[in-house]
Amino acid sequence: MTSADFETRPLSMADASRYAETSNAIYAFLGLDDRIQTSAVALEWQEPGFDLATSSLGIFDSSGRLAGYGTFWATSQTPVRPGFGWGLHPQYHDSGLETQLFTWVDGKCGAAIDRCPPEARVSLRCGVHEGYAFAENALERAGFTNSRSYFDMGIEMTEKPIAPPFPDGISTRLYRHDADLPLLVDVMRASFSDHFGFVDEPFEKDLELMRHWLDNDPHFDPDLVIFPVAEDTGEVVGCLLGLTQDARNPAAGYIDTVGVRQRYRRRGLATAMLKHSLAMFWDRGIKRVNLDVDGESLTNAVALYERVGMRVYRRYAIYEKLLRDGVELAKVALE
């Protein structure tokens, strides 16, 4: 087929089902059981700050199938690490259409660079399943380099975990979503401020983003939020956010976030929250629970999850393309 056989235009919300179909065809090509739902695609595309009309590209074949897609994510106030999501239907791996997607995203990067401080280092980042040779080779030809690994981890429980007591001086209380969302965002920001890639954003922006996801995700259940507090001050000292379902696997629960304020670490709080969470899933009849993690976590999160019985079952490579060298504003090392 020639370029004349394809229609190229921005994606629209009406394309969400075709996007899911093409993404799922890629999963099938890779031999994965993962599948994404149209509703999850739509929720992502409605994220605050993301403009589908200006930040996406779809390439459609003569039958209307989405042959390839690209999305550009520069929704941060200071987008020093914009993201590039892309995919090509396996039927078109030999078409060369990926070149069109890479050319398109290169054209989007200038505006993101202009929104960053002039001294800041800026790089474009893209994730890919490890071993997906077509995508890895295409990224390398486009000037990306493999920079980091992320893992999917999971546990298949055969018995209910024994949840240990929380550390001395710490107890949990009910999470009341409408009233407590700002507290949840505050403890998440504090907990992740020393994680790789963290860039400080305005509190209100993070609050808006979290409200969008939790208010609209059908798998969010406030009863799966663990909210530990210091008994002497009432301060929320950590959080665990569980979801009733992994968006890619309806048979599995999902742990979206585990965080502890720095001064309350190394006391067993994260382990206690994880085991309590797993017991809660068990009580709901959910035996499989998944999460994802930075494979080179600065806080050694992989070892934490391994201690509660989780194992790596899938790996992703993060590819990076330097757009402008300079001062690194994102967290890359512990101080």
Same domain? For 166 and 304 the reply is yes
- pTM given for the model: 0.93
Does 302 lie in the same domain as 218?
Answer: yes
3 state SS of 285: coil
Task: Establish if 47 belongs to a structural domain.
Answer: yes
**pLDDT for residue 330:** 86
Query: Is the model's pLDDT at 5 over the cut of 90?
Result: no
Domain boundary at 68, 97, 116, which? 116
Specify whether the CB–CB gap between 279 and 160 falls below 8 A. Answer: yes
Whether residue 283 lies inside any domain: the answer is yes
Domain count, the chain: 2
CA distance 151 to 90: 24
Q: In this structure, are 195 and 296 located in the same domain? A: yes
Q: How confident is the model at residue 39 (pLDDT cuts 50, 70, 90)?
A: very high
Going by C-beta distance under 8 Å and a sequence separation of 6 or more, which residues neighbour residue 263? none
Query: How much is the pLDDT for 334?
Result: 59
Encode pLDDT of 179-205 as tens digits: 999 999 999 999 988 877 888 999 999
CATH number for position 255: 3.40.630.30
Give the residue numbers spanning the domain of 16.
3-116
Instruction: Place 335 in a pLDDT band, splitting at 50, 70 and 90.
Output: low
In a domain, 310, yes or no: yes
What's the pLDDT at 295? 85
**Packing angle of the helix pair 177-191, 203-216 (nearest 10 deg):** 120
Q: Are residues 14 and 161 in the same domain?
A: no
Residue whose C-alpha is closest to residue 214's, from 259, 253, 261, 182: 182
Are 78 and 172 part of one and the same domain?
no
Q: Answer yes or no: is 131 within a domain.
A: no
Partner residues linked to 220 by β-bridges: 243
User: How are beta strands 220-230 and 170-173 bridged, if at all?
Assistant: antiparallel
pLDDT of residue 207: 97
Distances (CA, A) of 73 to 52, 133, 172, 212, 335: 10, 24, 36, 16, 28
Same domain, 82 and 34: yes
The DSSP secondary structure of 33-99, one letter per residue, reads: -----HHHHHHHHT-TT--TTTSEEEEE-TTS-EEEEEEEE--SSS-SS-EEEEEE-GGGTTS-HHH
Contact 182, 227 (CB under 8 A): no
Same domain, residue pair 159 and 288 = yes
pLDDT tens, position by position, 304-324: 999 999 999 999 999 999 999
Average pLDDT, the chain: 95
Pull the structure tokens for residue 71.
Answer: 């999305």
Whether 171 and 84 share a structural domain: no
State the CB neighbour count (10 A cutoff) for residue 261: 19
Residue 14 lies in a domain: yes
d(C-alpha 47, C-alpha 42), whole Å: 9
Q: Quick check: is 187 in a domain?
A: yes
pLDDT, tens digit, 9 for 90 and up, residues 58-75: 999 999 999 999 999 999
In a domain, 100, yes or no: yes
**Which pLDDT does position 2 carry in this prediction?**
54
Q: pLDDT tens across 243-266, in order? A: 999 999 999 999 999 999 999 999
Confirm whether 50 is domain-assigned.
yes
- pLDDT at position 297, please? 79
In percent, the amount of the chain with pLDDT more than 90 equals: 91
- Rounded distance between C-alpha atoms, residue 58 and residue 15, angstroms: 9
